[in-house]
Amino acid sequence: MMRTNEEQKIHTSVLLQEVLDILDPQPGQHIVDGTANGGGHTFALLEKVLPDGKILAIDKDCDLIENLKSNVKGQLSNVIPVCDNYANMAGIIAEHHFEPVGGMLLDLGYSSYHLSRSGRGFSFQNDEPLLMRYETDTHLGTGLTAREVVNSFPEEELADILYRYGQERLSRRIAKAICAARKIAKIETSRQLADIVSGAYPKRLYWKTNPATKTFQALRIFVNRELDDLSRALPQAVDALMQGGKLAVISFHSLEDKIVKEFFREQARKGVVSLITKKPIVPTREEISENPRARSAKLRACIKL
């Protein structure tokens, strides 16, 4: 049931113990992992609900779900892997007769696998086809790719995407550079795009992060409709929970965190939930040193009344 050493190197789950402490999964419970990713949280939750509990493990990346299936061959009566968008969770839960739901986790954004091994252009450090799509099954999304966006969208719309989803202050300058570059040659790879963005950035503004970081974030969020999916999923998540059921959400940037925070507060005002976290839980220095990706993580949670 445990993951191999190679798989553990690929993906390290963020705020794992904090999630377990909050959800406090019990033997026999039904828990939904809406974003299974590399399966780290899934396996940890599974160990707590055995022998009779079940985990509904959802991910829109079918490659990750196939990997999860191969790792839980002996536990398929306890783990239900589903390749779908977590924004469709109401239908997924109904289809698999998974009620009552005692707890749910949403670990947002990409996994280490997407950066290092997917070959889909998520990382500006690799030279890969500029896709940036989580879905490998096109019926789950729009089919839009980052390559399409940077090669065909008008300059003004490109700038708006970079500013809105990446909070990139140099959005117009970068969009102009992208449009100038694509007139010479089509932008096909992540490395090409990263070089264009870096060339548009004044060297005095180079900080600790790569100049392409915000541009890649913006394109990834836009292509995968990440914020729309989150806004659709949160009401379904609360509706699915039994009384006393808990929802935990890990976000990785301020746009996601704002949506979660405002939704939780609205539901608390209506008396639907009670906030478990008044302020978000963040990783310890030790966790950040071991897993730098954790540095921007924020965990918020609520309990259904």
Residues of the chain with pLDDT under 50: 1-10
Domain membership of residue 122 (yes or no) is no
94 occurs within a structural domain: yes
Residue 162 is part of which domain span? 142-224
State the binding site.
39-41, 59, 86, 107, 114
State the pTM of this model: 0.91
Task: Note the pLDDT of residue 8.
Answer: 37
Q: What is the pLDDT of residue 287?
A: 93
Question: Which CATH number is 27's domain given?
Answer: 3.40.50.150
Q: What six digits make up the tokens of 26?
A: 């019990």
Do 146 and 210 share a structural domain?
yes
- 106 occurs within a structural domain: yes
Give the closest residue to 302 by CA, choosing from 248, 266, 239.
248
Annotated binding residues for S-adenosyl-L-methionine, written as ranges, equal: 39-41, 59, 86, 107, 114
Q: What is the CATH number of the domain that holds 165?
A: 1.10.150.170
pLDDT tens by residue, 82-136: 999 999 999 999 999 999 999 999 999 776 665 666 667 778 888 899 998 887 6
Residues 203 and 159 both lie in one domain: yes
- Number of helices (H) and strands (E), helices first, in the chain? 14, 7
Within-domain flag for 51: yes
Measured CA to CA, the distance from residue 239 to residue 99 in angstroms comes to: 11
Residues 107 and 243 in one domain: yes
pLDDT on residue 115: 61
